[in-house]
Amino acid sequence: MDKVLVIVGPTGIGKTSLSIQLAKAFHGEIISGDSMQVYDQMDIGTAKITKEEMEGIPHYLVGIQAYDKPYNVKIFQEKARESIQIILQKQKLPILCGGTGLYLKAALYDYVFEEETFDEAYTKYLETLNNDQLYDLLKSKDPLSCEKIHPNNRKRVIRALQIVHKGPSKSQREALQEHKPLYDIYFLGLDMDRGLLYERINQRVETMFEQGLVQESTRLFQDSKTWNYTSFQGIGYKEFRPYFEGTETLNMVKENIKKHSRQYAKRQYTWFKHQMPVHWFDKEDPQIMTKIREWYDGK
């Protein structure tokens, strides 16, 4: 099987800089596995890698999507797999670097996303129900999905109901897929003391504000018509809505971005530790290069 290196870990831990080091050492090229860095013009709030930081290493799926167009896991799956093949054909090592776990898993495992067309009348009916009513309905039609979907995640509950309304349920579809890896994958996870990580995250947000995050967000999203964009739902941007509405100060926005980023980092750890066979290392561990070399050389 073709080898693919995957670097995972919480936001702000230093995955990007390590990916450059490993790309140089193993003749690799890098694919971003981040669901937000794919958008153009959204540079500061996504901590998008700069041309200088790339140090000449080719990068894929960075800034390729117009920020006013929707992007989803199915699109990422197709583009990531295409990028992997391009890199392999160049006899280089594909390196996926990012923190969006579902995106990475969809690209690397035998996930199948079917084209979906939903019953508009049924969807309109679902939208008239409150969250409790929707969740009770899902319990009756697809109880296994309820184990994975929070009652207040209205969007996911409605989607699961749309799926079961027209055929096999979401959980039934997932059960039919074997979830086998498509490549010889080494999952490299970066870890560090939580307190230090949260300090790094807080400082990162401070730096974003110094770099012009307020101006970037205002330019892209001040108009309320943009608030339904998929791109606006990302941490670092959605927190500006109360500021645009005149109900919160910029300092409150900043603190909310810090809080949501720390919470996201915690969720990332939990997700990766349960969903993928990750080899975890302290970010400063000198053994990282040795272990990757052993895997790469087939030892």
- Is residue 145 over pLDDT 70? yes
101 and 155 belong to one structural domain: no
- Is residue 156 over pLDDT 90? no
267 and 288 belong to one structural domain: yes
Render pLDDT for 130-144 as a digit per residue (tens, 0 to 9).
Answer: 999 999 999 998 888
126 and 108 belong to one structural domain: no
Indicate which CATH number applies to the domain containing 241.
Answer: 3.40.50.300
Q: Specify the pTM.
A: 0.80
- Residue 10 in marked binding region: yes
Mean pLDDT of 25-38: 95
- Is residue 117 over pLDDT 60? no
Mean pLDDT in the chain? 91
End of a domain among 135, 158, 176? Answer: 176
- Is residue 116 over pLDDT 60? no
Q: What is the pLDDT of residue 96?
A: 97
185 and 81 belong to one structural domain: yes
Tell me what percent of the residues of the chain surpass a pLDDT of 90.
Answer: 70
- Is residue 198 over pLDDT 60? yes
Q: 117 or 190: whose pLDDT is higher?
A: 190
End of a domain among 158, 176, 194? Answer: 176
85 and 171 belong to one structural domain: no
Taking a C-beta distance cutoff of 8 angstroms, is the pair 127, 105 a contact? no
- Residue 12 in marked binding region: yes
- Residue 9 in marked binding region: yes
pLDDT tier for residue 163 given thresholds of 50, 70 and 90: confident
- Residue 64 in marked binding region: no
Q: What is the pLDDT of residue 169?
A: 59
Q: Identify the domain containing residue 141 by its residue range.
A: 120-176
β strands within 49-200, DSSP E = 59-60, 93-97, 184-191
Indicate which CATH number applies to the domain containing 125.
Answer: 1.10.20
Q: Is 204 exposed, middle or buried (0-12, 13-18, 19+ CB in 10 A)?
A: middle
What span, in angstroms and rounded, lies between the C-alpha atoms of 69 and 269?
29
Residues 134-147 as b or e (16 or more Cβ within 10 Å = b): bbebbeeebeebbe
- Is residue 115 over pLDDT 70? no
Tell me what percent of the residues of the chain surpass a pLDDT of 70.
Answer: 94
